[in-house]
Amino acid sequence: MSAALVARALLSGLTTTEPLGSWSAPGRANLIGEHTDYNDGFVLPFAIDRRTHVALAPRADGVIRVASTFAAEPVQLPLASLTGPFPTDEVPEWAAYPLGVAWALIAASGADAASLTGVDIAIASDVPVGAGLSSSAAIEGATAAALNDTWGLGLDPVALAQVGRTAENDAVGAPTGIMDQMASMLGRADAAIFLDCRSLDATVIDLGFAEAGLELLVIDSGVQHAHSTGGYRERREACDRGAQLMGVAALRDLSAEDLPRARGVMDDVTFRRVRHVVTEDQRVLDTVQTLREQGPAAIGDLLLASHASMRDDFEISVPELDTAVEAAMGAGAIGARMTGGGFGGAAIALVPHDRVETVKDAATAAFAASGFRAPTLFTVTPSEGAGRDA
């Protein structure tokens, strides 16, 4: 059964009230631009063909109740309690995503919580959790779209992306950037979103994968290293320190010409962190230009350079991800790189259609030969962003 039907079935188990509608929002993959978002820089993500679905029915009592296939029990709160600080301690973590969206939406719209229609919300998803495909942005986007329509708030997709981020930062307590939510809200079929993380200017960039006979393969290592949280924080601190030493608001304000001076005013480790971010911003710009002028078959070297920079300068790769990239390239991928926060997670590879099975086999064999646990392999297709389905 599709996730959309599962959400409907879950809703009908909650209430006999007729559903108002169904909404969905996709996960995302990031083509290039890693650890640039919190440095006010550039990213190039796309929405994928895996979505989180929400079915919604009204309630007469001013209560919001959320249920998910992930959880045994629905969770409910009076909408009137969603003013002031979010009651994080009163809800299980998963429910802080959809209830946090309701809370952030009320604050962002200025709506009077006590006058809003109560809702039952049922959630089902086919976005894998924790595989670097942002199931969190998908649940936020689907809930935000559903409540924005149901309550007639009229927020635009960028405002809804900001609502999702507020929910994740302040209700869930995860310090993430805005990239995932923007990709999930604004995605287009066969296109990526070129996002300036400072201005939030978003431009749709045609990818043309299908026309060029290319597929984007995800190689999920399944690895989650214990030091990922500390490592992420250290990298953010190094970036802040680098910007401060260079006298700029964010690393976004530096370019390659500034690197010789940077080398002189900071220690080697900080310098290499800075160099990753500065060169990665440039690689995003170069990828956009290459896609426009030459098409997707020409971006392979930029993906590889991104991986090398994360491995050698930012030092967030792990043997599993290096192995994934090497195996993919050896089996005919035209580019590959690790994605996400680092210390585990997934790699992506851009692969000619007729080489996909060969690359999958090569990755599986290389992981086995190194004694790593078998990777999870699947292709993703650039797809439409969040919206109402029925």
Given the rule CB under 6 A, which residues bind ligand ADP?
A: 52, 68, 70, 93-94, 97, 123, 125, 129-130, 132, 134-136, 139
Contact 383, 48 (CB under 8 A): yes
Amino acid at 233: R
The nearer residue to Mg ion, 134 or 306, going by C-beta atoms, is: 134
Helix (H) / strand (E) element for 206: namely: strand 202-206
Strand partners, 21: 56
Amino acid at 374: A
Q: Report the interhelical angle of 179-186 vs 135-150 (nearest 10°).
A: 60
Interface with Mg ion (CB under 5 A): 134, 136
Least CB distance from residue 249 to ligand ADP, whole Å? Answer: 27
Q: Which residue has the tokens 């608001």?
A: 249
Least CB distance from residue 80 to ligand ADP, whole Å? Answer: 24
> Which among 101, 100, 107, 103 has a CA at the least distance from the CA of 82?
103
Q: Which residue is nearest to Mg ion (CB)?
A: 136
Q: How far apart are CA 252 and CA 199, in angstroms?
A: 12
100 binds, among ligand ADP, Mg ion, none (CB under 5 to 8 A by kind): none
Least CB distance from residue 180 to Mg ion, whole Å? Answer: 6
The nearer residue to ligand ADP, 77 or 333, going by C-beta atoms, is: 77
Which residue in the list 40, 120, 180, 220 is annotated as catalytic?
Answer: 180
129 binds, among ligand ADP, Mg ion, none (CB under 5 to 8 A by kind): ligand ADP
> Which among 113, 33, 103, 114 has a CA at the least distance from the CA of 66?
103
The nearer residue to ligand ADP, 232 or 271, going by C-beta atoms, is: 232
Strand partners, 54: 23, 123
The DSSP 8-state label assigned to residue 167 in this structure reads: I
Q: Is 354 a catalytic residue?
A: no
Structure tokens at 46: 């796309």
The nearer residue to Mg ion, 109 or 166, going by C-beta atoms, is: 166
The nearer residue to ligand ADP, 136 or 317, going by C-beta atoms, is: 136
Least CB distance from residue 245 to ligand ADP, whole Å? Answer: 31
Least CB distance from residue 386 to Mg ion, whole Å? Answer: 15
Q: How far apart are CA 28 and CA 192, in angstroms?
A: 10
What CA dihedral angle connects 249, 255, 258 and 263, to 10 degrees?
A: 90
Catalytic residue list = 180
